Amino acid sequence: MEISEFITFRKKLKKTQLQIAKLLGVSVKAIHSYEQGWRSIPAHIERHMFFLLSRINGKGKIRKNCWEILKCPAKKKERCPAWEFQTGELCWFINGTICNGIEHDKWADKINICKSCKVFKKHIYGR
């Protein structure tokens, strides 16, 4: 996650640095460090920010599952943890999903693919 994206998301969540620090379970100093570029934003913080955004972007909306949006065939769904745990609007949050045919071991690899996915964009950015 880029610094500017982190700041934009914090503002979209309408949180001060202190408030977002409490939500993310880190110190205000950590938030300052992320926003100043002194520390890189850890994967668990990035993931948590995306989760919070997905919740405000979906308020009051009926959400479609990823397998419905992407029209996944039955064989693919049966192998996918998003289907197994019925988390189709949080597929990007679940490791081991196979949207592009490959399971990714690392969050950084997975989220780079998710960022270009229409399911992710719909649930995170509301578009």
Residues in the chain: 127
Task: Read off φ and ψ for residue 54, nearest 5 degrees.
Answer: -65, -30
Residues 16-56 have pLDDT tens digits of: 999 999 999 999 999 999 999 999 999 999 999 999 988 88
Q: Is the pLDDT of residue 78 over 70?
A: yes
Domains of the chain, residue spans: 3-57, 66-125
- pLDDT mean across residues, the chain: 88
Alpha-carbon distance of 49 to 101, in angstroms, equals: 26
Question: What SS3 class is residue 8?
Answer: helix
Helix (H, G, I), strand (E, B) or coil at 3: helix
Count CB neighbours of 109 within 10 A: 12
What band does 58 get if pLDDT is binned at 50, 70 and 90? low
CATH number of 3-57: 1.10.260.40
